[in-house]
Structure 1
Amino acid sequence: MRVPARARSWLGVAAATVIAGAAVAGFWWLAVPRFDVCATVLPVPAGCRIADRVPTATLWTAVVAVLYVATVVVALARPRGRWWPLAVGIAVLIVAALWGYRAVLYQT
């Protein structure tokens, strides 16, 4: 059974939404302070060293937001019904989410 092109577009939008939402939640989970005293281990636990992590989380939130909007536009525009631009958009969004999470985690 084939899934109609329009339904695949909305599935792509749903996937991009979940990926972007999880990425932003992860960035800010690392950046927001949760402890009064932090352990002296590397990498610094989540919620410590906010002076360094907040600007990085802000930057990566903006990057993921731009990529999310681009992926949604590609998913809904679907040039000539092709699936690969949507797959590339989602793959780039996943890479940016993981790279951003690592950048926020290891911010020194």
Structure 2
Amino acid sequence: MIHIIDGKFLKQQLLLFPDIIVKYFADDHVRLVRSLLLQWVSHHILPGPKALYDLYHQLDFSRLNHEELAFLWHAYTHAEESLEEYYHDENLEPIPSDMMVPFDFLIPHLKKRRTGSTPS
């Protein structure tokens, strides 16, 4: 027996199971962020400067939810000094950042993911 499922209905059903979406539709970088977030929640382990630098250059931040974005902002802010050391030691271009709001490249993504009428 074959069942035909409308694309809209399928999308609604898949959205009920975010783990399935991640398992079958997320790219490696999104999976990495989810893994890093679990390490933080379970063991209070934050990613190192190399991982954060690589994610900045390779990750599509628009694919992350607000929790993942907030986690990354925390990780980048917490690693600010070690990131500067990493840039210097490896002769790399620093991640551009406004001095008033560090790692401000995350703000537009966080704004899109807000869940209420007030900012997070």
State TM-score, norm by structure 2.
Answer: 0.29
State TM-score, norm by structure 1.
Answer: 0.31
Compare the two structures and name the one with the higher helix fraction. Answer: 1
